[in-house]
Amino acid sequence: MKVLTIIGTRPEAIKLAPVIWQLEKLGGAVRTINVLSSQHTDLLSPFVRYFNIRVDHDFQIMKADQTPEQVCSSIRTMLDPILSQEAPDLLLVQGDTTTALAGAMAGFHLHIPVGHVEAGLRSGNLNSPYPEESNRVLITRLATWHFAATSRNRDTLLSEGVPPERIFVTGNPVVDALQFTLKRATVSSLVDAILQSTGGMKRVVLTTHRRESFGGVMARNLSVLRGFVEHHEDVVLLFPVHPNPAVTRVANEILAGHRRIQLVQPLDYEDFIVLLSYAWLIVSDSGGLQEESPTLGKPLLILRENTERPEAVESGIARLVGGSPENLAALLEDAYGRGSWADRVGTIENPFGRGDSGEQIAQIIVNGFGAPQAEVSSGGVGRDE
């Protein structure tokens, strides 16, 4: 059996690596073919190396100022002949990127079954996040098999008419990748210097990079965060700054020059996870961090109007900020208060799985999609036996 996987961005590498590992463990039963679109290059390559993903084809399509339409067109142009040549039995895509959409379109047009990892996420607003929400909806219509992280995701797919026998609840392989990283991680000299300089402080780790956060939204959020640091002598803000100029410019304008705010270079995955493990609070507009925070047992403020991962909020691990800087300020103060919700997060069970999602997905594939459907119980992600 041939399984072709296409990866374009850092989150895709993180979440597909555990699936690829488990497929390759099956030996002669499955032949894996791994394709990089390199929709992102500088951010993707270190993760491909870190997770030891063998690369069979690399399109290297990244160019400055490309539109999503141009990215999609380039991927389709380069992927179609490879699919015709390799003739895989299954094409795996992950999440909601332009690479995932292009892969799903190519598989559909060439009558190759498409498996969608992390299926069923919805914010309910096609413009937020953009274009990811529309990509998810389109991929669902094109995919044959749907690997949903939670029972809520499964219910969403069922409500959209996906046949129940084509949906498998497996948890999210980001948990597998994170557990793998935590087992092997060491504190690098870079992270050690950050930790040494912030010892005894409440560390707030910030990430923000989504399109809908650009401009005035990001400027207002950063101003609130600077004010929070200024008003609390025991708080330090650590911001690994995304290399996008729309982020670096406003970060330097608003946050630079404060003795308890550190703007640091983008960190590799292991360094970033280690830093998060020492955080008091995480503030982010990232979708992935809504899954990683529960695994780390860290409270999270979500810098977005809505979330396609409401399980993080419902479990009590995260709070949704919305678009109001005043709301962000209030939630920061609420987290800081004695006996707040943030102090209880470490005892909450992870709603996104237990670290065996890659194995579940691989077994479902090799069994010809005849494995028992997985379900989520009140105790977390599990499988029918």
CA distance 341 to 335: 7
Catalytic residue list contains 122: no
The tokens describing 38, both together, are 């390199």
What residues pair up with 285 in beta bridges, in sequence order?
Answer: none
Report d(CA 136, CA 32) in Å as an integer: 24
- DSSP string for 219-254: HHHHHHHHHHHHH-TTEEEEEE--S-HHHHHHHHHH
Task: Give the active site residue among 10, 116, 132, 311.
Answer: 132
Q: Count Cβ neighbours within 10 Å for each residue of 42-78 and write b for 16 or more, e otherwise.
A: ebbbbbbebbebeeebbbebbeeeeebeebbebbeeb
Catalytic residue among 10, 209, 210, 319: 209
Query: Does the bond joining 173 to the residue before it have cis omega, within 30 degrees of 0?
Result: no
The number of angstroms, rounded, from the C-alpha of 286 to the middle of its chain's C-alpha atoms is 7
CA distance 167 to 170: 9
- Bond from prior residue into 129 cis (ω within 30 degrees of 0): yes
Residue whose pair of structure tokens reads 């491909």 in the numeric block? 48
Q: Which residues contact 196 (CB under 8 A, 6 or more apart)?
A: none
Q: Is 242 annotated as catalytic?
A: yes
DSSP letter string, 285-338: --SHHHHHHHHHT--EEE-SS--S-HHHHHTTSEEE--S-HHHHHHHHHHHHST
Catalytic residue of the set 10, 12, 40, 96: 96
Q: Which of 242, 258, 268, 354 does the annotation list as catalytic?
A: 242
∠147-376-310 over CA atoms, to 5°? Answer: 80
211 is a catalytic site residue: yes
CA–centroid distance for 243 within its chain: 18
Can 96 be counted among the known catalytic residues? Answer: yes
Distance CA 143, CA 204 (A): 39
The active-site residue out of 12, 118, 176, 271 is: 118
Q: How are beta strands 235-240 and 261-264 bridged, if at all? A: parallel
Please name the amino acid found at residue 27: G
Which position among 211, 220, 232, 354 bears the catalytic label? 211
Active site residue ranges: 96, 118, 132, 209, 211, 242
